[in-house]
Structure formats: C-alpha cells, structure tokens
C-alpha cells in the first residue's frame, strides 16, 4: 500500500487564505506565521529606517521593503516567503505583487516560534 502524498499548496492557496492569516509557502508546504510581537515590529521598523536612510543618503538605487512583502523564490508557484526586510537592487525583479527571485539582502528577525523555519527551512531555500 502506498503512503498518502502530502497536499502541495500553491500561491493561489496563499491568496485564498482568510484576511489576516499570514503564511509562507516553501516547496509546496504551507507554514503559518504567528503575528509578530511589539518588540519584533519595533526592531523591524528601526532596521528598515536605518537601511532606507543609508540608501537615500548615498543616492543608492536599491529599494528596501518591510513585511508583508511577497518574495517568489522560484519561477514555479510553490514558493512564497515574506522576509521581515528585503532589499532589492535589480528593479527587473520587482512587480506589483512583490519580488520575483531572491532579494539582494534579506533580514529575518528570528522569534522563538519561528526559529526552526527561519534557521533551517528558509535559510536553505534562500541559498538555492
């Protein structure tokens, strides 16, 4: 008897989630995300401001984005992540929906509940 195959999700499933539900999609597997706490949001905002100010002061052309901002890591529809901060220098990667391909720089603020996904699953995916 064959083992049942796990359901593979797509970006269509991400967009069909109820409002306010946050999730990421890695290799067709859905990873639900808890709402960030106040400390997480404060740190993300501070880092974003510093990066944006640095780019502006140095007349840079890169663009920083703060989550929620869609990053489609592969050309398929089975990978969708929302790094806490994304910096994209190749404007050809940007669309109205987000970024196609890996950003030039990502920052993940790791919380106890996201440690395994951030340090292993997502890190491996960013590297490939």
Residue 41 domain-assigned (yes or no): yes
pLDDT digit string, tens, across residues 10-40: 999 999 999 989 999 999 999 999 889 999 9
Residue 3 domain-assigned (yes or no): no
Find the CATH number of the domain harbouring 72. Answer: 3.90.1570.10
26 closest CA partner among 65, 81, 86, 68: 81
Residue 15 domain-assigned (yes or no): no
Residue 79 domain-assigned (yes or no): yes
Residue 106's domain comprises 35-127
41 vs 113: which has the higher pLDDT: 41
> What are the structure tokens assigned to 14, written together?
């991400």
- Structural domains of the chain, count: 1
Q: Where are the beta strands (DSSP E) in the chain?
A: 22-26, 29-33, 63-66, 70-72, 85-88, 98-100, 105-107
pLDDT digit string, tens, across residues 76-117: 899 999 999 999 999 999 999 999 999 999 999 988 777 777
């Amino acid at each position: 008897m064959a083992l049942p195959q796990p359901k593979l999700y797509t970006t269509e499933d991400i967009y069909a989630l109820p409002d306010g539900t946050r999730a990421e999609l890695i290799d067709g597997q859905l990873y639900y995300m808890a709402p960030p706490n106040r400390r997480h949001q404060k740190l993300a905002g501070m880092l974003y401001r510093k990066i944006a100010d640095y780019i502006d002061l140095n007349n840079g052309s890169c663009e920083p984005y703060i989550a929620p901002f869609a990053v489609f890591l592969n050309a398929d529809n089975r990978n969708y992540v929302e790094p806490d901060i994304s910096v994209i220098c190749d404007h050809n990667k940007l669309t109205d929906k987000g970024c196609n391909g890996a950003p030039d720089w990502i920052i993940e603020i790791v919380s106890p509940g996201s440690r395994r996904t951030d340090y292993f699953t997502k890190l491996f995916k960013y590297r490939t």
